[in-house]
Structure 1
Amino acid sequence: MVLRIGYVREHFCSPLLQFEAEDKGSTFTLIECPSGTGQLISRLTNDEIDIAIALTDPLIAGIAKGSEAYKLVGSYVTSPLRWAVITGHKPSSYNQIPDLQGSTLGISRNGSGSQTMAYVMALQQNWPTDELKFQVNNDIRGLIDSVNDGTTSAFMWEWFTTKPFADAGECRFIGQVPTPWPSWLIAAHPTRAAPDAVRAFLDGLSRHVRAFASQEARAGPSVRFVVEKFGYAEADVKEWLDAVEYPEDCAEVSWKVITDTLRVLQQAGAVAPSEGDIKREQFLNMDVVTLVEA
């Protein structure tokens, strides 16, 4: 079967794009989901993709809330994600994170990383999480338009993806909130994606991840690839590559990552507390994944 892989076209997906160039559509095809993880989860649910490379927190939150459209099969990025807190370009009363309390925050979709990280930000600021107000704005353009027309106060998005917009004067950064968990996991539909096909995909992806993240590649080839593919400033790419970490084996998932992420999401009010013990089979496709206890 030719797997349908949902992804967000960002610098993080560089090894995936290199894998696609080698595969040439023989075993998988890429389906872009510009609205982010909320859209990826929706497309898994609606039989539009078989596998999603998506943000850790919305994937785990979705399963905790009862979704059976996917289970976790692997890991993609093991370092935290640096979320920028972004407001409109004009001078306003929103100049630092505490100024946002009680205002309406922009998100891409319900259940997206932009929403779950707003809960984490509220937890850090000691705001009542049940009082958070959101407006769905679909994608990065809708989010930027919203903070500039005043219908929302701010939104959260990955730092380097949005930095070109800030550099161009379309918006302002007023803070940052790193994730308290590794940033990207891989999920697959539990029945549409055959285990052998998923494992073969993860094996190939692991090979390209190791090549992209090698010391030699970080010193030059990976920098040039990201600059040419995404048009980012070379200094920004080097700063990102100095911090990002990828797994040696994309088929591995840490159980501790799942339980620690769940705990923070529960503390933030993004998901309800678990009733009884957390079952591994609820979150993981045990026919595919290599479980790491630590």
Structure 2
Amino acid sequence: MPLRIGYVREHFSSPLLQFAKADEGRTITLVECPSGTGQLISRLTKDEIDVAIALTDPLISGIANGSQAYKLVGSFVATPLNWAVVSGKDSKYEKISDLKDTTIGISRIGSGSQTMAYVMGFQQGWPSESMKFQVNNDIRGLINSVNDGTTSAFMWEWFTTKPWLDSGEVRFIGSVPTPWPSWLVAAQPSADAEALKEFLTTLSNYVRAFDSADSRATKNVEFIKSAFGYGEEDIKAWMKTVGYPQDCLEIPKNVIAETLSVLEKAGVVKSPEGGFSVDNFVEPKVVKLT
């Protein structure tokens, strides 16, 4: 039975889409989760997917806060994610500091849009307990909320949101890069370890091919333009910022430890007595901690 792979259909997922097209449903089936990592985690919990390719911070904070629904099994994107801070086209907010004590739009509780809002607040010196959120499900709901004034701003990946900036529907008032590599792979504890290793080994081949200098200079731009409709200049600008791991079956220990450290300072997670054990976050039958 093919592994059910939950993912967000964004330019970052290009190597996965290339894998799935060649695979033709033999070993994997893609399950699109347009609302992002909060939806991916929810579907893992409900046994609607076996694997999630999702944002580092919500995956780690979910386990830190007690979730038993999944473990980390691999890496996907090795570079930070640049989150745009997005406000309405006619809103009064001009910079991040203007957002203090306002309501921030998020896609779901526990999503990257929420954890990064806490990180933004931490950087600004705002108490985490004072932050207010409104759930708006997806990018369309988030855009509507900043334009009807029910929220002040929301956070979403820069290049994914840029078409709405270019059309004049929203304004960018700042950006907050993640202090960690942006995407990891998680799986249900019941998922077959050998099938997961086979999936991640093959995914590594597609990731390395996509990440190669030759592909970056030639076919990647055309693939992303065809799959997502982004402009060539935006694609080339994004390609200069993104890097992938050489082996998706490895996670550096410091990625987990340093992410936990920032999330704890931001008030997203609370360290247990004696501190967190990195080993508790991964499935050792699948992934290697480096």
Q: What TM-score results when the alignment is normalised by the length of structure 2?
A: 0.99
Q: How many angstroms does 1:29 deviate by?
A: 0.2
Match of 2:243 in 1: 245
Question: In the TM superposition, what is the alpha-carbon distance from 1:278 to its structure 2 partner?
Answer: 2.3
Deviations 1:32-63 (A, max 9, x none): 00000000000000000000000000000000
Aligned equivalent of 2:59:
59
Q: Does the residue aligned with 1:175 lie in a helix, a strand or coil?
A: strand
Aligned to 1:73: 73
**Residue 209 of structure 2 corresponds to residue 227 of structure 1:** no
The whole-number CA distance in structure 2 between the counterparts of 1:145 and 1:137 is 9
Deviation digits for residues 154-174 of structure 1 (CA, Å, limit 9, x no counterpart) = 000000000001101111100
Q: Deviations over 1:261-280 (max 9, x none)?
A: 00000000011123214234
Q: How does 1:30-109 map to 2 (within 5 A)?
A: 30-90=30-90, 92-109=91-108
- Asked whether the 8 Å contact 2:249–2:288 carries over to 1, the reply is yes
In 1, Cα distance between the equivalents of 2:96 and 2:3? 41
CA positional deviation for 1:290: 1.3
- Residue type at the aligned position of 1:256: N
**CA deviation vs aligned residue, 1:129-165 (integer Å, no higher than 9, x gap):** 1100000000000000000110000000000000001
Give the alignment of 1:117-128 within 5 angstroms.
Answer: 117-128=116-127
TM-superposed CA distance for 1:93, in Å, is 1.9
SS of residue paired to 1:53 = strand
How far apart in 2 are the matches of 1:18 and 1:112? 26
Q: Which runs of 5+ in 1 are unaligned?
A: none
Deviation by residue 1:82-109 (Cα, 9 ceiling, x = unmatched) = 000000011x320110000000000000
Query: Given residue 123 of structure 2, which amino acid in structure 1 is its aligned partner?
Result: Q
Matched to 1:53, the amino acid is I
Number of residues of Structure 1 aligned to a counterpart in Structure 2: 290
| Cα distance, 1:291 vs structure 2 | 1.1
Q: Which runs of 5+ in 2 are unaligned?
A: none
Equivalences for residues 127-206 of structure 1 within 5 A:
127-191=126-190, 193-206=191-204
- Any idea what the Cα deviations from partners look like across 1:238-274, whole Å, max 9, x if unmatched? 0110110000000101111001000000000011123
For structure 1, which segment, 277-286 or 105-114, has the greater mean C-alpha deviation from structure 2 after superposition? 277-286
What value does the CA root-mean-square deviation take over the aligned residues?
Answer: 0.7
Q: Return the alpha-carbon distance in structure 2 between the equivalents of residues 168 and 275 of structure 1.
A: 50
TM value normalised by structure 1: 0.97
1:198-239 per-residue CA deviation (whole Å, 9 max, x = no partner) reads 000001100000001100000010011001110001001001
Instruction: Identify the residue that residue 260 of structure 2 maps to in structure 1.
Output: 262
Q: Choose from 201, 204, 211 the match for 2:209.
A: 211
Q: Shift of the alpha carbon at 1:128? A: 1.1
CA contact (8 A) 2:256 2:278 kept: no
Specify the SS of the correspondent of 2:104: strand
CA distance in 1, matches of 2:13, 2:137: 20
Whether 1:9 and 2:9 are equivalent positions in the alignment is yes
Q: Is the 8 Å Cα contact of residues 75 and 250 (structure 2) preserved in structure 1?
A: yes
Equivalents in 2 of 1:236, 1:154: separation in Å?
A: 23
For the residue of structure 1 that corresponds to 2:240, the secondary structure is helix
The runs of at least 4 aligned residues of structure 1 exceeding 3 Å deviation read none
Q: What amino acid maps onto 1:176 in structure 2?
A: S
Deviation, structure 1 residue 281: 3.8
Secondary structure, aligned partner of 1:75:
strand
Task: Supply the distance in 2 between the matched residues of 1:201 and 1:223 (Cα, whole angstroms).
Answer: 25
Deviation at 1:71, TM superposition (A): 0.2
Identity, in percent, stands at 64
Rounded to whole Å, the distance in 1 between the matches of 2:279 and 2:179 is: 24
Equivalent AA in structure 2 for residue 88 of structure 1: G
